[in-house]
Structure 1
C-alpha cells in the first residue's frame, strides 16, 4: 500500500493531509461517520493509517475538519440565491456525477445520530445553511421559513440518499428542482424558480411568484 514501501515516493505533509481530507470527504458522504473506518480512509488516500492519527489526532477531529471544509466551501463559493438548488441537485446526483462541493449535505444526512460531538458538527453545518437561506426572505419569520425550506431539502435527500426511494432516484433533477423551487417561492420570495418543460410545472411556478 502506498506510503508503506521504501520505493514509494516521499509525500510532503501538506500533500498527505489533503489526500486524507479528500478520501475522508468522499467516504463520509458515501457511508456516514460510523461506517467510514479509519482503515478505509487511509487505504483510499493511499497512506498508512498511522499518518491519519499523526495529522488529525482522531477520526472525530478529521470528521470535524471535513464538515467545516466541505460545508463552508459550498457556502462561500455559491451565491445565496443558488445555494438551495445547488445543494438539492447535489443530493439528486448519481455516483461520480456528484461533485466534491455537493458532499456536505450527504455527509450530514448519513452521520445524524453518530454521537454528541458528531451531532454538534452536523447541527452547526445545518444552522449555517439555514442562515444563508433566511437571507432570501424579508419576512419577520424568515428564520422559520429557512428552517422549513432546509427541512424539506433534507427530507428529499434522506429519501433519495439514505432510503433510496426509487421514484426520487429515477426522477429528472430538473423536474424535481422545478417542482420544489416553485412551491418554496411562497416561503423564500427571492429564491429563483427553476423552469421545466412540463407546462403545469411552469404555471405552478408562475403562480407561486
Structure 2
C-alpha cells in the first residue's frame, strides 16, 4: 500500500508524494543548501519549496515562517557536529566540518558566513552559536572566571569562523590550498592554548625586537 501523501495546500499532492516527515526532511535539506549558497536574505521561501519539490504552503505549515525554518535548519546541523562525540573533541570536529571537501556536512558554517548581514538571521545565529558552540567551548576553558571562559570561547569561535571565511568564501592563499591536516594541527595548538590560558610569555614581558622574555 502506498504511503499517504501530504497535501500541497492547493487540494492536490506534491510532485513527489511523501509523508509529513519526508516533506520536513526535504525542506530542511533544501534550506541548508540555499542558505549556504546564497545566504539568508537571498534564499526565498518559494525557492526553498521549489528545491524541495513541494508547495510553499507546506513550508509555512511545518516551520511557521522563514526565520523558523532557518533556526531549525542550522540547529540540525549544529547538533550533528556537537553531539557526534565528547565535548573535548568539539574543536577538532568543528575544524573537520569547516574544511571538509564534501559540503553536505558544512552547510551550517556556510550559512553562518553568508548570512551575517541579515538582522533576523544574525539574531538566530548568535543564539545558536552562544548556546551551543561558545557554551561548550567555555566549559573547556581552564579558568574559574565565567566571564574569562566566555571570552576565550568566543575568541576560539571567531577564529574558526574566520578560517572558514578565508578558506571557502574568500579563498585566499595559501590557506585555501593548504593541506587540511596541516591547518588543523596549527589551529588546534593555538586554540587549545587560548582555552588553557597558555602563552610562551606575556606580551608585556617581551622586549621589542626580541623573542626572549625580559628578566
TM-score range normalised by the length of the shorter chain: 0.7 to 0.9
- Paired residue for 2:179, among 166, 172, 176? 172
TM superposition shift of 1:172:
0.9
Aligned residues: CA RMSD: 2.4
Task: Name the CA distance, whole Å, in 2 between partners of 1:154 and 1:25.
Answer: 17
Q: Which residue of structure 1 lines up, in the alignment, with residue 36 of structure 2?
A: 29
Cα deviation code 1:132-159 (max 9, x no counterpart): 1122222232222111111111111121
Task: Say whether 1:12 aligns with 2:19.
Answer: yes
Q: Which residue of structure 2 lines up, in the alignment, with residue 80 of structure 1?
A: 87
Task: Say whether 1:111 aligns with 2:115.
Answer: yes
Task: Name the CA distance, whole Å, in 2 between partners of 1:9 and 1:146.
Answer: 44
Task: Name the CA distance, whole Å, in 1 between partners of 2:15 and 2:60.
Answer: 20
How do residues 12-161 of structure 1 correspond to structure 2 at under 5 angstroms? Answer: 12-94=19-101, 97-100=102-105, 102-115=106-119, 117-127=120-130, 128-139=132-143, 140=145, 141-161=148-168
CA contact (8 A) 2:15 2:53 kept: no
Cα deviation code 1:49-88 (max 9, x no counterpart): 3322232232222112112222233222332122112212
Structure 1 residue runs without a partner (length 5+): 191-209
CA contact (8 A) 1:92 1:169 kept: no
Structure 2 residue runs without a partner (length 5+): 1-7, 198-215
Task: Name the CA distance, whole Å, in 1 between partners of 2:67 and 2:183.
Answer: 34
CA contact (8 A) 1:27 1:41 kept: yes
Task: Name the CA distance, whole Å, in 1 between partners of 2:20 and 2:161.
Answer: 36
TM-score calculated relative to the size of structure 1: 0.77
Larger Rg: 2
How many residues are matched? Answer: 184
Cα 1:81/1:7, change in 2 over 3 Å: closer
TM-score calculated relative to the size of structure 2: 0.75
CA contact (8 A) 1:145 1:188 kept: yes
Cα 1:11/1:144, change in 2 over 3 Å: same
